[in-house]
Amino acid sequence: MKSSGTSTSKNKIHLSSRQSALAQAQAYQVGEALEKVHSDYKVEFHFRESLGDKNLTDPLWKMPEKGVFTEDFLQDLLSGKTDLVVHSWKDLPAQSGGETQIAATLPRADQRDLLLFKKKSRGNPQVRIYSSSPRRSYNLKSLLRDILPWQVETVEFQDVRGNVPTRVKKLLSDDVEGLIVAKAALDRLLTNSRFPEVQEELRQALSQLEWMVIPLSENPNAAAQGALALEVKSSNSTALELLKKLNCEDSFFCAAREREILKEFGGGCHLALGMSVLRRSYGQIEIVKGQTPSGEVLLSRKFIPLKKRNPQWTPERLEFQALRKELEVTAQSCEAVYISKAEAYTEKIESSLFWAAGLQTWKKLAQRGIWVQGC
């Protein structure tokens, strides 16, 4: 295959990304996948800082809209210094030119947000949460009062910058109770063996923290959160061909559709609006929630069924149908407990992890003082 005027050569492809541990973990994930499907190619990695990495003072929503984590790599692609840039897709600006394109994505990681909360702060009536996202602040302020297992009087969000380990460290050292992070980011750092010091640091921190996985129904993700964007120069036919075998069509479709929705509202991380697109075997789910730039409160949940649809499927019971029976509960200890109905749970079951069938069950359990991991 010919390189069409870039640095791609036979048996070598140049891959660039930011230099944080998370960005490198994502780049290595892509590079390893490339070498697995194209064994005659060797990936050469290039890491450096972006504007967003250098400016850790301003909250992201106050910074320039045009790709604070991605724009620095554009010229490298156009000049041929690199063949492929791996981005967190949510960092890319909604508006993009035609000289480069997103050629592929890998299977998407968990797109939900995660609350990390200091164990020693349980019970505090005034809760302060680190997050610079207007979306998270708007969608979670009232929800956290309902799902934290004690009487919460106020929830206040404070700006925070830095990579995930830096933010977790700041949480533990500062006078705040919690931190919201993208679950995909933490998952990738904890499962990549290339960064044992980062993993150990995070594990030690997590031993001091409680955690909750926030449901998409109440807090839809930032557009394309959890998805990787593999950006190449549009004229680089070699790179485009190489990436065809890597692309996950469902992940690409959902991330691209979320960015279309984002673009409809003007785009950018300044929006107090989240959007989740999910593909299931029975159809497509779209959730949009938050506040539009004009101040309109928006909650849209749409179900697009498959053409051939089981008549028993209804939008109200998309994920599963539970058969509930009255069973005698004996005292036991479990690593994790799944609770389909709040009334079914008794204190005879001891566990450190609790999962609820849905949000209403979660809220009822929280009223009983039970910390629920998610639903």
Q: What is the pLDDT of residues 18-56, one digit of tens each?
A: 999 999 999 999 999 999 999 999 999 999 876 655 545
Residue 5 predicted with pLDDT over 50 = no
The mean pLDDT value for 269-277 works out to: 92
> Cα(88)–Cα(70) distance, rounded to whole angstroms?
9
Query: Span 198-210, mean pLDDT?
Result: 97
**Is residue 232 pLDDT above 90, yes or no?**
yes
Residue 270: pLDDT band by 50, 70, 90 thresholds?
A: confident
Residue 34, SS3? helix
Query: What share of the chain has pLDDT > 90, as a percent?
Result: 73
How high is the pLDDT of residue 131?
97
Q: Which range is least confidently modeled, 47-56, 57-66, 144-153, 256-265? A: 57-66
Report the C-alpha gap between 20 and 165 in whole angstroms. 10
- pLDDT band (50, 70, 90) for residue 345: confident
Which region among 199-208, 251-260, 313-322, 343-352 has the lowest average model confidence (pLDDT)? 313-322
- Rounded Cα distance between 276 and 110, Å, is 12
73-128 residue pLDDT tens: 888 999 999 999 999 999 988 776 689 999 999 999 999 999 999 999 999 999 99
Q: Given a cut of 60, is residue 15 above it in pLDDT? A: yes
Give the pTM.
Answer: 0.86
- pLDDT above 70 covers what percent of the chain? 84
- Give dist(CA 286, CA 189) in Å, integer: 28
Query: How far apart are the C-alpha atoms of 239 and 167, rounded to whole Å?
Result: 35
Task: Calculate the average pLDDT of the chain.
Answer: 88
Convert 92-130 to b/e letters by CB count within 10 Å (16 or more is b).
bbbebeeebbbbbbbebbbbbbbbbbbeebeebeebbbb
